[in-house]
Every structure is written in structure tokens, then in C-alpha cells.
């Protein structure tokens, strides 16, 4: 028997909408898991960390954090087969930023639909400029690159998802190296302006790739020892962190078939939540009820799983429910989703 921790970012609805969304949510297996639990814990959320609660928790769980901030570049590089022997490395994502009424916004990378051909073309064009700045640039896939920047080790960065939809002034890299970062960013922005890849993207109604976003600085060779798996909706960097960037497990993989204690990353809800698409959020939650919550409950009840921990979060709240086969025997506890309410 094994123990599994299910990391479910944005599985908690925002406080102002929670009562209505909980009433509309049909998830009896989830209700049973969280109502007949051995423990319910409100996890601390540090407002000073430029990462979402689940990202900070994951970084700590796998031993890849610096001052509480996710330092995942080395581990993600290892998943891509790009492990290095020395230097400080950042994860770099090609990005789209736009001007709102009074500030800059960054688009969710899940919605960019950046093809391998366009990603490679933009990478090849930018690489010499990184090289001239003394920054080695490596290619992982279309949307995930890696930059060696030893002299930027003190650059304070934010995870992409923590910045999406918010005023970028508060989330841009800061610290002593930030001026050098902005200079390189401006050069790359001018380089990509009206590039054929962007011209073609805009003709198809897609957002132009007009910036890049660094984060996750870590020393070369950093890895993780914790067993991780990722569902098929995970971003490529998440799947790479779990060791398989091109082949995350499918939703239908039996949880009880896992042979060791593991953390499972499920990113099914993030895109809808960041876009405030709550009808879409409900649809994804209903799918997870069938593909994740009900199978987890069944595996727990028939002894294939020893313990299930559910880590549910949104931007400002993080809950952990732990349940076992024994705690599920508490039949007098009526299953309810009200335990998700603030």
C-alpha cells in the first residue's frame, strides 16, 4: 500500500464565489474524501513569496527552494535531459505581454499555443543576443528554455502563474541584476517584433510572442528525490519536474497501481481559474470527480492506497485534507463540500 498527495491548484474557489460554486458542484467522492478525513489543516500562505501557495509547498516538498521561493530550474532541466555541472540556471518561457488600461499584463502560457517550429525559430534568433550578454541559452521545448546567468543569482523572480492577470509592475524581476535583465529583455523584444513567426501567429488570431519570463533560479545539478507524477493536463515544465516532459501519465492511470509513495500534480483547473471562467472550472471539477476523486476513494477503500492527502488551493488559501481507510469508516459524518468554504 502507498500514500499519495494530490496537488490541486485552484481547486478551492475564490471566497466571494465559493458559496455559489459549491452549490453547483456535484462531487460526492470529493465530499466523502474531505468530510471523513483524519485531519484538515489550513496551511500557511506567505505573501512575501512570489509564488502561488501550491508552488511554494511543492518546492519545499521536493527540497528545491531558496528562502521559500521555488528553485526548480536544475530539476526541470534534468527532466529534459539537460542537466549541467556548474552555474546558476533559470527556467525561461517565451511570453506575451500586453498593455491594459494603465498597466502591463502577461497572458497565461497555456493559451499561447506556441508551435515547435515557431518556438525554435524565436529561440534561434534570440540565442546570439543571450550569448553576447554572457548568458547561455538552452532549448527544452517550444515554451520552456533554460538560461545560465551566474551574475543574476540575486535576481528576484516570480513564477509565471503568480503573475498572470495581475499588474506586472508588482511581479517583474527585481534586485540588483534587474537593470541588466530589462536591457536584454528590450533587445529581444525588438528582435521579435514583426518576426515572421509572430506575423503568422497574429494572422491566425494568436497572441504575439513579445517577451520572455525567467524564474526558478537554481544551481546546476539540483534534482529532486521525491517521487512525482503528473497528469496529462500538466504544463511541460511540471511533467519534466516529474521526469517525463513528453509523456505525463493519463488521467485514467489507476492510482492504486502506483508502486511507491508519490506526489501527483494535477493542473486541470488553473487555466479556467486564471481566466475567471467558472463554468469551465465546474466542468473540469466534474471531470476530476470521475477521473481522480472517485478512483482515489475506491483505491483507499479496497486497500490499494494507505493514505490520500488532498492539497487544495487558490491564490490566498491552502488547505490540506488527509484521509485513510480507517477514517472513511466514520459513516456518521455526512459527506459535504461545505468544508471547502472559507
- Is the pTM higher than 0.85? The answer reads yes
Bridge-based pairing state of the strands 97-99 and 104-106: antiparallel
* Annotated domain spans of the chain: 2-50+224-340, 65-219
pLDDT, tens only, 234-252 = 899 998 988 766 544 444 4
pLDDT at 152 over 70: yes
Q: Which residue has the higher pLDDT, 253 or 56?
A: 56
Sheet of strand 136-141: strand arrangement: 136-141, 144-148, 88-95, 211-219
- Residues forming a β-bridge with 42: 319
Chain centroid to Cα 177, Å, comes to: 25
Domain covering 65-219, topology? Alpha-Beta Plaits (3.30.70)
pLDDT, tens only, 116-130 = 999 999 999 999 999
Q: Are 19 and 323 in contact (CB under 8 A)?
A: no
3-state helix, strand, coil in the chain (%, to 5): 40, 25, 40
pLDDT, tens only, 271-330 = 999 999 999 999 999 999 999 999 999 999 999 999 999 999 999 999 999 999 999 998
pLDDT at site 248: 47
Query: Cβ of 336: how many Cβ atoms within 10 Å?
Result: 13
Bridge-based pairing state of the strands 65-66 and 69-70: antiparallel
Amino acid at each position: 500500500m502507498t500514500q499519495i498527495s494530490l496537488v490541486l491548484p485552484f481547486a478551492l474557489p475564490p471566497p466571494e464565489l465559493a458559496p455559489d460554486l459549491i452549490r453547483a458542484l456535484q462531487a460526492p467522492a470529493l465530499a466523502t474524501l474531505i468530510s471523513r478525513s483524519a485531519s484538515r489543516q489550513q496551511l500557511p500562505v506567505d505573501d512575501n513569496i512570489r509564488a502561488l501557495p501550491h508552488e511554494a509547498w511543492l518546492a519545499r516538498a521536493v527540497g528545491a527552494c531558496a528562502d521559500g521561493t521555488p528553485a526548480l530550474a536544475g530539476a526541470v532541466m534534468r527532466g529534459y535531459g539537460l542537466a549541467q555541472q556548474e552555474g546558476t540556471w533559470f527556467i525561461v518561457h517565451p511570453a506575451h505581454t500586453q498593455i491594459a488600461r494603465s498597466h502591463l499584463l502577461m497572458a497565461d502560457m497555456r493559451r499561447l499555443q506556441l508551435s515547435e517550429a515557431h518556438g525554435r525559430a524565436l529561440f534561434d534568433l534570440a540565442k546570439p543576443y543571450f550569448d553576447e550578454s554572457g548568458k547561455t541559452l538552452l532549448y527544452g521545448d517550444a515554451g520552456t528554455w533554460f538560461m545560465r546567468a551566474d551574475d543574476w543569482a540575486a535576481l528576484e523572480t516570480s513564477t509565471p502563474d503568480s503573475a498572470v492577470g495581475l499588474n506586472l509592475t508588482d511581479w517583474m524581476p527585481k534586485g540588483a541584476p534587474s537593470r541588466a535583465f530589462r536591457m536584454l529583455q528590450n533587445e529581444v523584444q525588438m528582435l521579435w517584433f514583426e518576426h515572421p513567426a509572430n506575423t503568422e501567429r497574429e494572422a491566425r488570431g494568436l497572441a504575439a510572442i513579445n517577451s520572455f519570463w525567467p524564474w526558478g533560479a537554481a544551481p546546476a545539478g539540483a534534482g529532486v528525490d521525491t517521487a512525482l507524477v503528473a497528469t496529462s493536463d500538466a504544463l511541460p515544465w511540471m511533467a519534466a519536474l516529474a521526469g517525463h516532459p513528453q509523456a505525463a501519465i493519463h488521467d485514467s492511470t489507476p492510482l492504486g497501481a502506483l508502486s511507491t509513495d508519490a506526489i501527483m500534480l494535477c493542473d486541470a483547473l488553473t487555466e479556467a481559474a486564471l481566466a475567471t471562467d467558472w463554468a469551465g472550472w465546474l466542468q473540469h471539477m466534474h471531470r476530476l470527480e470521475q477521473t481522480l476523486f472517485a478512483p482515489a476513494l475506491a483505491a483507499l477503500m479496497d486497500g490499494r492506497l494507505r493514505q490520500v492527502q488532498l492539497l487544495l488551493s487558490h491564490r490566498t488559501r491552502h488547505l490540506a485534507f488527509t484521509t485513510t481507510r480507517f477514517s472513511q469508516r466514520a459513516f456518521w459524518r455526512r459527506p459535504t463540500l461545505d468544508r471547502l468554504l472559507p
